[in-house]
Amino acid sequence: MMMNVPFRVTSMLEHAEWYFAKKEVTSRTMSGIRKFSYREIGERTRRLSSALKRLGVQKGERVGTLAWNHHRHLEAYFAIPGVEAVLHTINIRLSPQHIAYIINHADDQILFVDQDILPLVEALKDHIPNVKAFILMTDEDELPQSPLQPLYHYEKLLETGDPAYEFPQNVDENDPVGMCYTSATTGNPKGVTYTHRSTVLHSMSLGLADGGSVSESDVLMPVVPMFHVNAWGLPYAATWFGSKQVMPGPRFTPQLLAELIEMEKVTFAAGVPTIWMGLLQELEQNSYDTSSIRAVICGGSAAPKGMIKTFEEKHNIPFMHAYGMTETSPLVIATRLKTYQSDLDDEAKLDYKAKQGYVVQGVEMKVIGANGEVKWDGHEMGELLLRSNWIADEYYNDDRTEGTFNDGWLHTGDVVTVDEEGFVKIVDRTKDLIKSGGEWISSVDLENAIMAFPDVFEASVIAVPHPEWQERPLACVVLKPEAKGKVPKEDIVEFLRPQFAKWWIPDDIVFMDEIPKTSVGKFLKRTLRDQLKDHYMTTAKS
Ligand code: AMP
């Protein structure tokens, strides 16, 4: 028999304090950029844990954060589990109603709030009666006037804390340490609770050489917000492995990201496609030294092929496409070409890179189509089912658990194909597939093709009701600023024709200034569908 040492989130910070005490965290806050060593981060975190204890935070209680990516948020990532409470990172881009809902649903007792997010929380004051105290993460010396009471000053609270506070060692690895809510297509957001065990195992998977391969030699910049699936778990992994971290802070711009990459010599950066689109535009306009980057990792929505190609061929930046969900911690699938695939021509390699990839070690999948498990032929479509030690097996106090978590598998709601190499390609959300005359059309495939048209900035394809075919694809397109008003619809249609069967070609193209997006940058197809549901009636009349 072997030892059974409980996995513990705070052990990851202890490791950094012991072995990587001199390594740095670069943090951008409202007042500028500052640097902290892991020794300092460790000491400040211990102070914060001890102050939270003194404020009366109890084991299992939820403590919320409404904050950007910076050192104080990193400290809260460890200090809250450090008193056996549960870190609830709140997505500040949700609607105020949804933010109030999740604060109440999680029953948050204390809220950490960034200075610029304070007005948002003040406006919610009367709707979150159970919150007992607020802690302002501010660079200012004094607290502002606020109706939120009691309101504590983060730095002054740290001064009252004990730098030698000991994190509890005998924890149950299955105790909760974190919570995130994910937006539902309809209704309120759904909560997922992470444990010590799931968090440590997921962090370990981020360090696998054939996974994220996060290591001590990395300079890691999580651009993905710390309120979106814990910045994909990267702050935990980076701390444990002793990587230098670069935290871009509040309301950053593509220019700032490019400057940070150059100044801090970032090796690995993580974000959603809209972030990378913005960075590409910046790199087109101004020149930066990006040679330090070993990879950018991109997930959350499908990365268009044209974008991957530009990153790799024009800027020499390797691009890693990955897939995950709030329910999956999130990293479960990533593209890594196999050694023998290096013989493929560039176009074939790009095809693989544009797929989401194959499951990381420790994750199992099956894909269920109309007739059971689908063939791995790259064509047959089915729903992706996943299981792993870092995948949730329920939603927090929510009857929507039923239907999503069945027979020990997470039913992702994503429709995929799998090829002979095991590479998964997300074809659509089950709800976004377009059913034309009884046959399925993938909106994602069409979007990717349209986004490869040189004048197109972004595109979203939706199903609109059709009198004869039930549904037909309609393309919503945003042109690049310099091309606005100059591109006829027919040019885009002609561009698509050789690539798809005739019946896949969108019936019409609607030019827009902007595509509505969710709080985490995904196309809000529901809104588009609502706006354009009468498209055929309108076009028939006109
Ligand atoms: P969230 O819980 O907000 O992270 O959303 C998870 C959903 O995002 C998944 O179920 C997918 O529909 C979508 N998603 C995540 N990563 C990708 C990707 N690389 N390509 C396409 N869709 C993705």
Write out pLDDT tens, residues 165-192. 999 999 999 999 999 999 765 678 999 9
| Cβ pair 324, 232 in contact under 8 A | yes
CA distances to 84, 277, 348 from 306, rounded to whole Å, are 46, 10, 14
Q: What is the pLDDT of residue 154?
A: 98
- At 375, which amino acid appears? K
| Ligand 1 atom closest to Cα of residue 412 | 10
* Residue 441 near ligand 1, beta carbon < 6 Å: no
pLDDT in tens, 94-111: 889 989 999 999 999 999
User: What are the residues whose beta carbons fall under 8 Å from the beta carbon of 353, sequence distance 6 or more?
Assistant: 308, 312, 319, 321, 335, 337
The pTM (predicted TM-score) of the whole model is 0.88
**Annotated active-site residue in 26, 29, 45, 182:** 182
Q: What is the mean pLDDT of residues 125-150?
A: 98
Q: What is the pLDDT of residue 164?
A: 98
| Cα–Cα distance for residue pair 459/299, rounded to 1 Å | 17
Q: What is the pLDDT of residue 403?
A: 85
Q: What is the pLDDT of residue 372?
A: 94
| Cα–Cα distance for residue pair 305/444, rounded to 1 Å | 11
| Cβ pair 329, 196 in contact under 8 A | no
| Cβ pair 479, 457 in contact under 8 A | yes
312 secondary structure, DSSP code: I
pLDDT in tens, 491-542: 999 999 998 888 899 999 999 999 998 877 788 888 899 899 888 777 765 4
pLDDT in tens, 188-212: 899 999 999 999 999 999 999 998 9
Give the chain's domains with CATH numbers. 1-21+33-192 (3.40.50.12780), 438-532 (3.30.300.30)
pLDDT in tens, 463-488: 998 877 888 999 999 999 999 999 99
**Residue 376, pLDDT above cutoff 70:** yes
**Annotated active-site residue in 35, 284, 440, 539:** 440
Residue 282 falls in the annotated catalytic set: no
Residue where the block lists tokens 């007042």: 31
* 181: β partners: 191
Residue 440 falls in the annotated catalytic set: yes
| Cβ pair 310, 280 in contact under 8 A | yes
C-alpha angle 253-116-268 in degrees, rounded to nearest 5 = 40
Q: What is the pLDDT of residue 186?
A: 61
Q: What is the mean pLDDT of residues 224-236?
A: 96
Interhelix angle 273-285/254-264, nearest 10 degrees: 80
pLDDT in tens, 261-291: 999 999 999 998 889 989 999 999 999 999 9
Q: What is the mean pLDDT of residues 304-323?
A: 95
**How high does pLDDT run on average in the chain?**
94
* Residue 443 near ligand 1, beta carbon < 6 Å: no
Interhelix angle 234-241/10-19, nearest 10 degrees: 40
| Cα–Cα distance for residue pair 441/432, rounded to 1 Å | 10
* Residue 412 near ligand 1, beta carbon < 6 Å: yes
| Cβ pair 66, 72 in contact under 8 A | no
Q: Which of 301, 319, 355, 359 to mutate to test the pocket of ligand 1 (most atoms within 8 A of CB)?
A: 301
Q: How far is the CA of 299 from the centre of ligand 1 (A)?
A: 7
What's the farthest any 2 CA atoms get from each other in the chain?
A: 77
User: What are the residues whose beta carbons fall under 8 Å from the beta carbon of 250, sequence distance 6 or more?
Assistant: 28, 29, 30, 68, 70, 114, 116
| Cα–Cα distance for residue pair 283/491, rounded to 1 Å | 27
- Three-class DSSP labels, 357-406: EEECCCEEEEEEECCEECCCCCCCCEEEEEEECCCCCCCCCCHHHCCCEE
Instruction: Work out the number of other CB atoms within 10 angstroms of the CB of residue 531.
Output: 16
517 secondary structure, DSSP code: B
Q: What is the pLDDT of residue 185?
A: 59
**Annotated active-site residue in 17, 24, 327, 458:** 327
